[in-house]
Structure 1
Amino acid sequence: MRQRPGLALIAALLLLQAPMGRAALASPAQLVGTYVWRLNERWFGGFSGLELSEDGTRFVVLSDRGNYASGRFTRNAAGAITGATLGPRHPVVDRRGRVLPRWKADSEGLAIAPDGRMYISFEGVQRVLEYDRRGGAAKILPRHPDFKNMPLNGSLEPLAIDRQGALYTLPERDPKDGPLKLYRFSHGKWSQSFTLPREGEFLPVGADFGPDGKFYLLERRFAGVVGFASRVRRFSLGPQGPGPGETLFQSRLGAHDNLEGLAVWRDTAGHIRLTMVSDDNFSLFQRTELVDYVVTE
């Protein structure tokens, strides 16, 4: 999701000038490190989707302007990112292999199946595209009837795939108040049977299934000139729906930039790791930030 430029610029200026302090309140997940990622390429930025390999080193990153690329992270002994090598850019294409026009290319969520199939969710024209291989033509998944009523700049952002190959998504902004509606795509159709509890003013922007099989939800709160706060909650999804949510961390306002992409993995010590990337809105006053947390239960 894009923030209104004026507010975003002011917030970013204050964010850069403000002391960081502790990144998060006391919580099961603790900050490991942050890395400001810079690359002198016009397409670079606006990252809203992130997928990682099992060891947290190889990645695919998605921009909200219809581009994606793969690469590799370097990490220090603590597991914090210290560098990133990025491969060539690939444009998101339609079912005929043509580059998407800008008005149809607001790509937000990214999920990659074990067999390499790639899925991308979109705002604007609310849909999910499937790719049998990277660089190949798209397949348009059927749409749930609710999708057409979602806000243009607040619809399908988080996207995750479970071990059985089912996709999960939810809108950033629901036209109605109440619990967060969770949509599931399996056996060729969408269903909306489950909800997640809504807590406070946070909005869902990213999601992933961890190696523990649980559903992790990245949420963001935008507080105008004060900046952004981020939160990750974890849920067990069973046949009867999600269990009680657990807040793994909630950052202080201004601690991080506009975190939108989430990838969950397990380190060699057996700890769950949360790696996130920020959408800099292609602003000179914001930054592309990579953030690592470790769940220290």
Structure 2
Amino acid sequence: MTVITGHVIPRVGYQRLGPQPGLGIEVATTDETRERAECAGPHRLDFHQIALVTAGFDDHEVDFVPYSCAPGTLLWIRPGQVQRGFPPPGLSGWLIWFTPDFPQLPTTDHLLRDPVRTVRRDLDKEEQSRLVTLITELHAESTATSPDAHLLRHLLAAVILRIRRLSAPADAPDPGHGGDIYTRFLQEIEGSYASTRQVEDYAARLGYTAPRPSPGHPWPPPDTPRNTSSTPASCSKPNVCSSTPTGPCCPSPPGSASPKPATSASSSPATQG
């Protein structure tokens, strides 16, 4: 991996160190990872990182939230998320790194683009054993003299689908909450929050317009009721876009996405254009 200097938090770009440097996936043990020069402080990933802990106890910080790790803990850090040096000294296990465009399989595409992310899963011994078997095969192919990209994609898909079957924490957000527009809104924030914080920009990308309030007439009017009808209406929350014709206005469910700078509170809500 290479470090690309950013304004505040450095970005870490993907760089494979094994055979075929252009291949968009790499698998390593934590011992192999410690031999490399890594960022000790907070850094933002430009690729996916799946980590499975097989031994040890320690904490790992993702988006400035500490997660307690133990044997069977799985962490999935996605592009744009911030972590503090991994692996911590007290942990051992496996790491999978892959670029967002590597999988190229319809069976996993929607899982990779899911902006409502749950970072952590806790596996029992049977689940951990099954996943370690898959990752071991993935590692063997990844480190082969001539790794097969097609085989690696399918092995990675098996890992991702196995993770998908794991039980989610009780407080995990529902990826379907808010409908398609809400999901697309979160995806736009994930990709562009560093360059724009204006709700008008996000509304335009989603095919909506954002009317500006007249001087002396704040928007929305005080005590504007939340839209629950079947027709589109302006959202009563100034920092989110309006709903689809069939869905409710789109509030952000608690914990639905990684911490990002808030959109401008002075921006008016979006209405469909």
Q: State whether TM-score is above 0.5.
A: no
**Greater relative contact order (Cα 8 A, min sep 6): structure 1 or 2?**
1
TM-score band (shorter)? under 0.3
**Greater Rg over alpha carbons, structure:** 2
More strand by share: 1
More helix by share: 2
TM-score (norm 2): 0.28
